Every structure is written in C-alpha cells, then in structure tokens.
C-alpha cells in the first residue's frame, strides 16, 4: 500500500504523536552465556521484597543502559535537560546514557556497531532487512524460554502468540516485535459528501451495489460533480492499484499486490479470476462517467482542488486528511456566501463533528465479501544482545516498562503536564513545547516517545482517545475495519520477489489502467501469463519453500 509505506503528516498532532526511532544501548560487561533460562521474580525491578529481607536494605543501583538515540539534528535537544527521560529513569530504576546519532544515519550507525561487535544491549532493528540475518549469526539472546504468560505477562499482553510465531527465526524467538503508534492496520476511509447524500435522499451505502446506485444518482443530479475521484501517488507510483479503488476491489474479495496462502500453496490476487471481474466492473463505471477521467494522471493536490470547489462526491482518503478537507470545504462555502470573516480563516475545527463529509469502511459485495489491505503486523524488532551483561535484567526492565501505568509515562509523558485526564478522557497537550527552542516554559526538553519499548501493535495506550475528535473518528473507522487482511508473503524469504516485484507491479499498474479506461479485457489474460513467466511463478515457489521451512513442515 503506497501511503502506508511512506510517512504521512498527521496534521496538528504530528509533533506530539510521531515517535522517533530509538534503541537502547549496551552496558559493558560479560557475555550472556551464564544467563538463567527463565525470568525469575528477583530479576525484575518491580519484584516485591522478601519478608526475610533486612529492615533497611540498601537501595538497588540503577541499571545502566547506553542508548543509541536517533535524533533530528536540525532541532535542539539536550538529554541532560529532558524531564521526561529523568522521570522514566526514576520510574524504572535505570540510568540512560544516550549516544546521539542523526536520524538519517541511524541504520548505518547501527549496522557499523553490529559489524564491529559493539552491539547495544537492546537493538531496535528492521525485521526484513537486517534482523533475520543478525539473529542467524548469533547476535541476539534466544528468548524462547524467557517469554511466557507467567514471567512476562505485560509482553504477552502486547504481542500475541500468533505475532511471535511470525517473528521467529529458525523456530526461535530472538526479539519482541515492534510497530509503534496504532499498529499497522488499514488506514484508509471511503469519504463522501454527506450533504450531497442528504440532497438525493440516500443513506450512507453499505454494499457495492448501493454505492454504485448512489454514484449513478449523483451523476444524474449534479452534471458537474465527479462521483468517484482517484489520483496517482506522490512518487510516480500508480496509486489507484492499491488505494483509490480499494472498496471496489475489496468487494470482489481481492486487493492488488497481496499474496495469498492456502494449505501451503501461494498465489497473488493480481492473477486471480476475481481481479478480472473487479476490473470489468471498474471499466463499466469508467464508461458510465462515474470515475474521474483523470484518475490515472492527476496528483492529490489537484484532486483537492476539485473537492474544495464542490466538484467531487467521493474518494478514498488517508485517515488524517479528512478533517482539514472538511474545514476547507466550509471555508469555500463561506466565501461563496460572503460570510467568511475578514481575515479569511476559520478557527480550529479538529474537535468539531464533520459538517460536510462522512466516512465509511469497506463496502461488501453481493455475497458479503470484502477485504481491506492492511500492512504487516510489525516492521521492527527489539532484540537483546548476546554481549549484554545481564539479559534477564534487561528483559525484566522491558517487561516492567510495558505495564499500563509505565506505558502512559513512556508514550505520553508526565500526567498533568504532557497529557491531562479530563472527566476520564485523556488528551495530549500540544502547546507545551516551543516549536523553535523545543523547550517548555521552564527551559526543559520533553522527549515524548523517545525512550520507550512499547510495541504499539495494538495501538499505544489511549491513542484514539488522545486525538482530536475528527482525527479519532477517521482513524477509528479505518483501523476498526473488520475486513482487514495482511499479505501472506510477510516475513517470508524470496530473492526473486526482491529482484522482480517492482517490475511486475509496474506491468500490473499499466495493464489495469488500460483495462479500466476501456482496454480489451484480454489484456488481463496476457498480463497473467507474463506475470508468471517473468518471475511470478518463481516467487510463489520460493514463498512456499520459505513457508514450509518457517512452519517446520
């Protein structure tokens, strides 16, 4: 999915909600060969004292962690003046010694450390690119017998056994899957003008047939309104193949680009008969004038112009954009009526209900079918180095940090300062830090989401609640889409996929565009044969072999 793979602006909350890639670093010490095979209570900083302990035991020294911290060097920051870091250190009884590295150089720096043997205590590392390689080389502690419901309940609550199974290398657990933020679920909504729906006397469509009939009615009533808009990606990729027509493809039970698996046999939706049916339906819609004639060439900013001027009824939208679009539509309506205030602006609308737009998750086909293409369950791993002096202690620190209370601190900061609880509802404070100095009113830095282990696979605690109303609603509709599916090729090895997939996807996008715009449907059959002969069949074979190896069959 093109936009799920790239970083997007989350609007006004981006500065507060965007986590920075960071890594805990190594403490100099002995090899991990003497580590106990289980995480005992005494290893945990949160373990209660024995009744036979001395009346005045000496306080345990903070555990020292060197931290490889990815930092935007264009912004000022001094970890010694970070009050959130200090609060985390006190809470977890640790001492963090950050080693700062430019965020753009983080991966290079980490790989250099791995190659030199100077492996940080805990490494946050890309799963697909590096983790599997280093795990097989013996760089990380085998956690298979250390992670379980009894000894690490917080970790098991955050990461399901199914996800751990996907993360295994050679049948063993070498790290804790990490995604960050609200996980990797689907992030798109079908967005429609609810004022137009009201004017034609229609409810929000739930099925593909209902949606198709609404589009036909819109076309008949509003001669200059495009029923369904689409646009290309920002980096020259054919966006439509993944997102502009998600709901159409999904109602036929397919989504472009995703691999499928059944009983160990792999295929790809791009070559399935249902894809041909979906393309024929889109071709019909295009011929009837229900799809923007410029969908294959225009950019998103051009689509916005059509939307703001009232010439677009519906489109597939990234979750964070709808709120601002609604405000701009209102602005243009006030300009037309002459009621816009003199400075030409509206107050912040993010905590107001949508006035002109309505959001919908998947449409279902005649048999109740629908799919929505979600991202991979995780993209990175937190792995403990075999060079660390006390793997059990480090794992216990991670476990303690993932208690609900401690996650609130590591993810959101200090209660009453970085976030507030108002009538039981949590809201992040967005104006605490000066955007120029990056300091608060006391001259302190606040590294929110800078020192944390929270996997984020299910969403960080109270994430949706923390957002302004419109953001919460639009993200909630997207990530709660019950029809989400993941690509069956996730975490499997296929050299041919790496080498040939871009070429195959480019061929697909060109062919599908031609068909939708009226090309002979025989082009689809030709595409299927070329897809298979130009690497596709080899990819499927390699995925099946990797699946067999990974599942131990």
Encode pLDDT of 350-390 as tens digits: 999 999 999 999 999 999 999 999 989 999 999 999 999 89
Tell me what pLDDT residue 298 has.
Answer: 87
Name which residue leads in pLDDT, 1 or 393.
393
Q: Which residues contact 455 (CB under 8 A, 6 or more apart)?
A: 158, 159, 176, 177, 178, 179, 180, 378, 382, 402
Domains 63-183+378-460 and 188-373+485-551 share a fold: yes
* pLDDT at 31 exceeding the cut of 90: no
Mean pLDDT along residues 86-108: 94
Q: Which residues contact 502 (CB under 8 A, 6 or more apart)?
A: none
| pLDDT tens digits, 63-77 | 998 888 999 989 999
Is the Cβ–Cβ distance between 438 and 160 less than 8 Å?
Answer: no
| pLDDT tens digits, 191-230 | 999 999 999 999 999 999 999 999 999 999 999 999 999 9
* pLDDT at 39 exceeding the cut of 70: no
Give residue 33's pLDDT band: very low, low, confident or very high (50, 70, 90): very low
Nearest partner of 247 among 188, 308, 306, judged by Cα: 188
Give residue 49's pLDDT band: very low, low, confident or very high (50, 70, 90): very low
Entry pTM:
0.80
Which helix or strand (DSSP H or E) is residue 188 part of? strand 188-193
Which helix or strand (DSSP H or E) is residue 548 part of? helix 537-550
* pLDDT at 48 exceeding the cut of 50: no
Name which residue leads in pLDDT, 226 or 551.
226
Residue 28, token pair as written in the block = 């100099």
Q: How many angstroms separate the CA atoms of 315 and 455, rounded?
A: 32
Q: Which CATH number fits domain 63-183+378-460: 3.40.50.720, 3.30.1600.10, 3.40.190.10, 3.30.70.2860?
A: 3.40.190.10
Helix 322-337 vs helix 300-308: crossing angle, to nearest 10: 40
Q: Where are the alpha helices (DSSP H) in 379-531?
A: 391-401, 404-407, 463-466, 469-479, 495-516, 522-531
Tell me what pLDDT residue 22 has.
Answer: 32
Tell me what pLDDT residue 233 has.
Answer: 63
* Annotated domain spans of the chain: 63-183+378-460, 188-373+485-551
* CATH code of the domain occupying 188-373+485-551: 3.40.190.10
Nearest partner of 17 among 25, 28, 8, 29, judged by Cα: 8
* pLDDT at 35 exceeding the cut of 50: no
Give residue 485's pLDDT band: very low, low, confident or very high (50, 70, 90): very high
Tell me what pLDDT residue 46 has.
Answer: 38
Tell me what pLDDT residue 487 has.
Answer: 95
Residue 173, token pair as written in the block = 């657990």
| Average pLDDT, rounded, for the chain | 87
Tell me what pLDDT residue 239 has.
Answer: 56
Q: How many angstroms separate the CA atoms of 126 and 110, rounded?
A: 11
Tell me what pLDDT residue 342 has.
Answer: 83
| pLDDT tens digits, 277-331 | 999 999 999 999 999 999 988 888 899 999 999 999 999 999 999 999 999 999 9
Which range, of 11-20, 355-364, 482-491, averages the lowest pLDDT? 11-20
Give residue 97's pLDDT band: very low, low, confident or very high (50, 70, 90): confident
Identify any residues that bridge with 373 across adjacent strands, giving them in sequence order: 485
Tell me the C-alpha to C-alpha distance, in Å, between residue 94 and each of 86, 123, 339, 388: 10, 17, 58, 15
Tell me what pLDDT residue 214 has.
Answer: 98
Which of 16-25, 60-69, 443-452 has the largest mean confidence? Answer: 443-452
Q: How many angstroms separate the CA atoms of 128 and 438, rounded?
A: 34
Name which residue leads in pLDDT, 278 or 244.
278
């Amino acid at each position: 999915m093109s936009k799920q793979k790239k970083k997007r602006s989350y609007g006004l909350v981006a500065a507060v909600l965007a986590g920075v890639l960071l890594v805990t670093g190594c403490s100099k010490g002995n090899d991990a060969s003497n580590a106990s095979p289980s995480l005992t209570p005494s290893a945990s900083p949160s373990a209660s004292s024995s009744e036979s302990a001395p009346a005045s035991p000496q306080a345990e020294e903070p555990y020292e962690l060197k931290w490889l911290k990815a930092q935007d060097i264009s912004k000022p920051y001094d970890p010694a003046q970070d009050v959130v870091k200090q609060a985390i250190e006190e809470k977890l009884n640790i001492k963090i010694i950050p080693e700062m590295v430019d965020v753009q150089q983080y991966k290079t720096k980490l790989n250099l450390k791995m190659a030199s043997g100077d492996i940080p205590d805990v490494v946050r590392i890309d799963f697909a690119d590096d983790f599997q390689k280093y795990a097989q080389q013996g760089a990380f502690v085998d956690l298979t017998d250390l992670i379980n419901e009894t000894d690490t309940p917080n970790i098991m609550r955050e990461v399901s056994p199914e996800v751990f199974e996907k993360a295994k290398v050679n049948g063993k657990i070498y790290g804790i899957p990490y995604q960050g933020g609200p996980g990797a679920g689907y992030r798109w909504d079908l967005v429609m003008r609810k004022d137009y729906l009201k004017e034609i006397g229609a409810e929000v469509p739930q099925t593909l047939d209902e949606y198709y009939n609404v589009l036909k009615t819109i076309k008949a009533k509003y001669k200059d309104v495009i029923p369904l808009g689409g646009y290309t990606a920002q980096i020259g990729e054919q966006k439509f193949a993944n997102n502009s027509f998600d709901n159409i493809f999904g109602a036929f039970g397919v989504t472009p680009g995703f691999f499928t698996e059944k009983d160990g046999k792999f295929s790809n939706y791009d070559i399935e008969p249902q894809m041909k049916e979906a393309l024929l339906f889109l071709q019909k819609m295009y011929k009837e004038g229900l799809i923007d004639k410029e969908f294959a060439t225009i950019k998103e900013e051009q689509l916005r112009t059509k939307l703001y001027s009232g010439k677009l009824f519906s489109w597939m939208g990234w979750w964070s954009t709808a709120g601002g679009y609604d405000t701009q539509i209102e602005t243009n309506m006030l300009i037309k009526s002459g009621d816009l205030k003199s400075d030409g602006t509206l107050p912040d609308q993010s905590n107001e209900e949508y006035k002109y737009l309505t959001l919908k998750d998947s449409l279902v086909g005649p048999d109740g079918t629908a799919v929505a293409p979600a991202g991979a369950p995780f993209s990175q791993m937190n792995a403990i180095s075999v060079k660390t002096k006390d793997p059990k202690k480090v794992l216990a620190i991670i476990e303690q940090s993932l208690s609900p209370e401690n996650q609130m601190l590591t993810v959101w900061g200090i209660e009453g300062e970085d976030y507030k609880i108002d009538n039981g509802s949590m809201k992040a404070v967005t104006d605490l830090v000066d955007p120029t100095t990056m300091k608060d009113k006391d001259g302190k830095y606040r590294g929110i989401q800078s020192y944390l282990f929270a996997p984020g696979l299910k969403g960080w605690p109270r994430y949706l609640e923390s957002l302004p109303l419109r953001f919460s609603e639009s993200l909630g509709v997207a990530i709660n889409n019950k029809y989400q599916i993941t690509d069956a090729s996730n975490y499997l090895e296929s050299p041919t996929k790496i080498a040939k997939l871009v070429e195959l996807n480019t061929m697909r996008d060109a062919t599908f565009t031609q068909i939708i715009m009226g090309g002979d449907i025989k082009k689809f059959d030709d595409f299927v044969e070329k897809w298979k002969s130009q690497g596709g069949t080899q990819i499927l074979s390699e995925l099946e072999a990797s699946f067999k190896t990974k599942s131990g069959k």
